[in-house]
Structures are given as structure tokens and as C-alpha cells.
Structure 1
């Protein structure tokens, strides 16, 4: 404050002269009028002080008021400079328009935007720079701003060269002493923004056309597993429209029967894995659910979606409805069966002719009653059983039944099959040891066909262990493959490595009296279940057979289905097991 006062005194030297004149006047007055009367220095000094006090006080008040005035003037000048700096350096164009619509001021950006220099723009009115087509809208907005309501809108502004500029306009009322005296117009050129938006919209339309023109179903999700796009093929295959699907959690498209695709299942699908590890996952054999609750086979690929910076923002799933392909495969399977029938014809004729020849011969021998009649009758019965077995396998290949697939427990089916074959195993001095996992995921399968497979493999193992032995059977779940494995390990004679690739061929058998149809049927059944069968063997060291079947992802139904499956198997085995065990092994 002292520095400010000194500055004021230094800039206003007339104050020194005023103070000096007042002081001289007071001294002269007292010397001329007081001194002649009192002739006392002390009295004259007192009178001088009394005269100076009001003058000094008045001078001090004037000085303070003047100081405050100068200070306010400086502050006002500073604020004015700040506002001017904001006005001049604002990245957008700013115009000040009076109530009459005349442009009073503008910052320098007006030239880069419209081509008019600031002096040129001051000679124009607002109407002269606005496109005629937009003038009515601009006028209405201007009047609203004059009424104290800020405005935001877009219009076309005329460039000096005659072109038009897409402009985003903001009107802000200018208030002075509580009165609106004009409007600040903030202009932003959005021509480039609109052009880019138009290009983006065009690209989006092209992308939608491409997505909707492909035959595969395509949908995308964000990192939360909620749909962000859904093409026409996906609508047709699932029954869900894009409006219904977008925004919904669809990672559980692999829903169980009776549930829709939005039902939570609490499992790790390949979509979940893609969202977690950012890798591509391919599922060849699974089912999606239609909106009406029906299921259809699909093959799908889930791939991650990354931003340019490398950040994963979701996943895209491409899937194909495999219903027609499955039908085609079924037709091919039937065609293969018919082809196999042709191959079987020659073999069946040959295989049946030999037993029939024996029967004819022994029938001739037993015409005269002899003591060997019973022995011949036993031979005849064995040959008749052999004929019956060959005919049954021929009929299975020639007339396949339509597969009825259900959720079943492999451990339960293996257990019932072992119970069925235990008596025959004891007769052959074979001990069957099982290690069955009771908590396996269920498998979509035909129960009777799978039992046929297990009977074939177990009987082959028993026949391979001529001197008896131990047959180990175990079931487990391979989580990496999402497959249920059934393993059979015997201590038999083994199979030479060069013969293993031929086991699935019709009429190929390693046994002296084998028809070569049992393993062919086994391979066909496993193939129809989208599974795999693997043989590992060494001569005189035994054979290991692994059957791999795709696990169902509906583990919540496991316990109930396993119990029902076990009960049903034991009941059926009592009625039908004996015939199956005798007729189906190769």
C-alpha cells in the first residue's frame, strides 16, 4: 500500500504544491493575526496545529478516495485485459452482436473461418453472413437469447468466397447492470466433423450390409458378454431379433433344452475363454438353442476384438447351422451302409454256406441212431448260433435304426454292461475291475448303441485273454478336450501294430472265427456320436482301448440323470441283456 501511495504521489506532483501552499497560508495567517496579539511562540504554534488538523484530515480522506479510485481502475483494466485475451485467443470464432443485429466486435478467428477480416466483419450485420435458408431459425434463436435463454444450434454461415460452412452456434446473452445489451455468438466450424461422421455412417452401412449378406450367423459382445451387434443370419437361425438380442448377456447361447440363449449357466464356454485369454477358440460339435426352445447343431469360432492400442474390447462369434450338414452326413452314412451291404453279401454267402454244409453232413450222419447223436447235436447248435450271430450283424449294418440321443452317464452304462457280462467273465476266468467316476459330465448318446459298443470291446478283451486275466475299466473327464474318456485295458495277446489301422474295415478280424463286423459297427457308432476310438497294443502285452465322447455342458442335470440312467439300465438289462450279450460281440 505504501508503494502504491508513493507511486501516486510521484505521479501527481501538484499535491506537493497544494500541501505547501496550505501550510504557508496557515503560517502567514497566524503570524499576521495571532502574533501581534499574543507575542507568544507557543500560542502561535498551537493555533497553527489547530488550523492544520482539519486540513490534514480532509487531505487524507481525499487521498484515500483517490487511491481507491486508482486501484479500482487498475483492477478493471486487468480484468478487461483478461477478458480481451479470452475473447481474442479463444479457439472458436466469437462475435459480439448488439440488440439491433449489428456485429460490434470479433476475434481474429473470423478470418480463418469466413475469409472476412475483423475490420470487414464489423461493417456487416448478422444477417449478411448467415445463409438465407437458415435466417429464420437464426433470428428466432437470437430473440430467445435476447430474452436471457442461451441457445445451441447448427446453421450454414456464408464464406467470403461464396461457399457455405456447416457451423455449430452458441448464443450467450451479454448482461450489463442487469440489462441484456447484446449477444455473444460462438461459432465452431463442423464441416470436417460432419464429413467424417458421414464417412463413418457410410462405413457402418457397408459393414451392416456385409454382415447381413453372409450366410453365417455373426454376433459380437463387449467384455461383459452383452451383445453389441447381431446380423440377419443370426436372427434367422436363433429366432431372436437384433432388437431383442443387443444389450442382453448372450455368452450362454449354449443353453440347455428348455432354456433360452440368455439363461445363465455358470460355465466356461469358448466365448468366456476368448474374453478371458484374448485367443481364438473353435468349437466343432455343440448345440445352440432357438428362441422356441428347440436345439440345432452348430460349429462356431469365437475371436477377440482389439482396439488399435491393443486393448481387448470384446469378442465376435461366427457360427454355422450344421443341421443340413448333419442330414447330409446321415445320408452318406446310410450310403456307406448300403455299400457295406454289398461287401457283406459275398462274405455272408461264404460264411453261411460253410455252416450249412456242416449241418447237412451231420444231419445225414444222425439219420441212423447212434451213441454219438448228442455230440452231433451240440455241433449243430453251435453252427446255428454262429449263423444267427452273422445274420444279426448283417441286419444291424443293413438296417440302421434312427438314433435317439439323450443325456446319459457313461459310468452308469459301463456299470450296467459289466454287471451283464460278469457271469461270462467268470466262466472265462477273467476278472473285471472298474474305477468309474460318478461325477462325470453327462453325454448326449444313444444308450443302447453305447452298450453295444462296450459289450463288443469287453467280449473282445475276454476272448483275447485265452488263459484268463484282469480287465481294467475306468472312466474320467479330460477337461482340456472337454471329453469323457472310457478306457479298457486287458492282459490279452495284443494286436500287431500293422493291423490296428484295419480294424474298422468290414470283414477284417484278428480272430479265427470272427466276422469282422463287430469293430466296424463299433467305429460307426462312435463316429455318429462325434467321438473317437483309439487302440494301443503290443503283442503279448495286452491292448488299451480309449473311447472319447464330447461332454455335455449341462452339469447341473448330472446327478438326477445319472441316477435315472442307472436305474433304467439295470431294469432293461434284466429283460434284454442276455440276448444282447450273446449276439453282438465280434
Structure 2
């Protein structure tokens, strides 16, 4: 595009000549009343970073950060007459996404069939500093290990950092300039990360928030405040949050380990004293049951069988106590997790059939070996799979997925059920000793599993969002 291509639009030659002279150092743009770009000077092409062909296909609003039409801008800055006084304005977006601040002169050319606007621009004298600040802002939002949301006065999302998108489960481009009511439309109002009260000047410091997206649960520490211009007028607000999930998990792990250690010490000290009398009681009850059987006293025989069953249950509880204390005869060696899982699949499948549950096994061949105790690993897998199956009394699907996290050097086993899920107010308690939602449960199964995996240097995570639960068993590979 040549600058002379627009000569047949010229009405005021003196004004046009002045603009043309300015365009030697400045950038010249001609836009029609529909905001289509009619012509751009070579200087503007270099200024913007786009090619002439790309600019020809663009609208004014695609290049410039403005919320008004050209007619409104012209009237606001220059009044109803012709205006040529330079005024600082906003910024245009270059092809690389850089915000370039500028000043401009503007001329309105009215013809019988159309209206044109001529803009002569040059970079604002504070542009280099502002561009540097903008570059820092762009880099900050992309690279910083913080969640950042910038909010306008009309409660729209102006910008969001990459980390915030990852944690909140959002995609950046589709939600920019969208109302936050629409961004969080699927979340109940009382549980939304952003509340409209932020625009009333409500300041938040170190507010603890739990957030669950479709894959993970995060513990966040949130700050928010308002943004004001140089006159003290509020122009927007921001929210900054830090992911403290690992810190919270570590704190809970330490507290839980302390409780388990205390229970283990008690168990180790009392198990022997409990088992000795139980063995004697069980032996005498077996003799009595045989006597009742010989004498045809079926009613009394039934009573002894109930008592023997309860004694066996007490013995199982004592065994779990001993596991909390310190697993005996632990043998750590290189283990193929896939082989361990395949060995117990028939047991899991038989349990699934009893509950009308479909079992799906998604194997990952050539998993790296882990350092673990094979029998204890079987116990963990069986316990968590059994819990998942029992969470689907009306049938469903239990999915076991193997995968490798090469970034963290972990082998991951995900066990997902399609049950009713775990309520948010209970999910933090399921690994606590003696906590159970089962009528006949001891509340030690998951505590023991967590202790076993922690001793192997791994972790167990749980995620539930009302349509199933996923337990992720993570073990570092050798």
C-alpha cells in the first residue's frame, strides 16, 4: 500500500499535506467510518510489526486497545471541528503482542458517500519506559509462580496469569474481557474465587481457599486489593494467590504421622497383652462350640460362633495396629508395579463381580521399577480398590490406570470409581486414624495404606468432585 493511494479521498489539502509531512517520522493510518483500515504508511507497517497485507484485512479495534468508536474518539478529543493537536492516547498491540504507547493527530474527512479518519501517530515520549513496564507485566503474568487476575470496574476479566489458568482449569483467550459471572458460571456464588465485593474496596490478606478443578484439588492463599489512578479514583482490582497445596499436605502429613506414631506405640505395647487372653478365650469357645454341637444345642452353638467371629475381628484390628507401629519383615527391592497389579487383578475382579461393577485396567507397558515391598504394595492396591468397589453399591466402573510422570520421576497408579464421591467437608479426614463412613469399618485401612506408601517415599492423593473419586498412588521410580 502506498500513501499516495489515498489522494482521491483528500478534501483539505493543507491538512493532508501536514499529516503527510508528519508521516515521514510518524505513522499514518487511514480508516473508514466502518473502522476498516483503508491505508497504512510504510512507517506504520514497520511500527506495528504486521505486513501490509495483514493490516488490510484487520479492523481498527483489532490493533488498538480502545472501547469507543472512531467517531466518539474524535468528538471526545477534538470536538466537532477539525483537530490536529497531539494528545497522548492508549496503545496499539503489535504483532508480537507488545503494547506500544503513542500520541496521535487526528483528521476527519467527510465526503458525500463516506467519512474517513486520518491518524498520524508517533511513539509517546514515555513509551520506552512504559513498554519496558508492559513487557515486565506480560512476562510476569506468563512466568510468575502466582495466580493473578486483573478485574475492570465493570467486573470483567482484563488479564489472567498462566498459573491461574492452570489451577482454575481455564483457557486464557476465550475468557478475556468476559464477565466474571460468566467465567465462574458453573460454580455456586458462595464458592467463587472472585466476589463482586472486591469492587467495593474489600481488601483480603492471606485468605485460605480450597479449589477443585476437574483433575486436582488445590489449597490457595489469596490476597486482593483495588487499583487506583493518580487522582485516587478506583479503576479496577486484582487478585493474587499462591498455591500452598504441598505445604498444607506436608503439614497434614506431619500431624497425621504424629498421630499414627502415637497409636503405633500404644499398639506395640498392648498387642501382646491383648492377644494372649484372646487366644485363651478363643480356644475355650471352640471347645464349648464342639460340645454344643455334639449335644445338639444349635442355639447355643450359634452364640459361640458369633463370639468367635468377633474375636477374629479384634485380632484383625490388632494386626492393623501393629502395621501402624512398624511393618514387620519389610523387604524393599526393585519391583515391577505392573506385575504386582496383574497378580492381584483376579482378586479385584472377583470382588467387582459381587457388586456388579465393571473393571477396566489401562496398563502402561515398560513402567520403570520402584523400590518397594511387594506384599505391602499388594495390600495398598487391594484396600483402595476394595474401597472403590464398595463405594458403588448400585454398580459402576472401577478404572485402574498406570502412567509415568517423567518430570517428577514417579510411577502413578490412578484408581477411579464412579460412585457418589466424597463430600468436600470429609475429604480432609479420610486418612485420619479411626475415621470411617462404613458401619463395620475400623477407620485404619487408609491410614495404614498411607503409612506404607510414605515409607516408600511416595504419596497418596485423592480427588473427588461429586461424580466419582480418584485415588492416585505415587511412588518414585528407581
> Could you tell me the TM-score, scaled by structure 1's length?
0.33
> Could you tell me the TM-score, scaled by structure 2's length?
0.38
**Greater Cα radius of gyration, structure 1 or 2:** 1
Q: Give the number of the structure whose residues are more often helix, by fraction.
A: 1
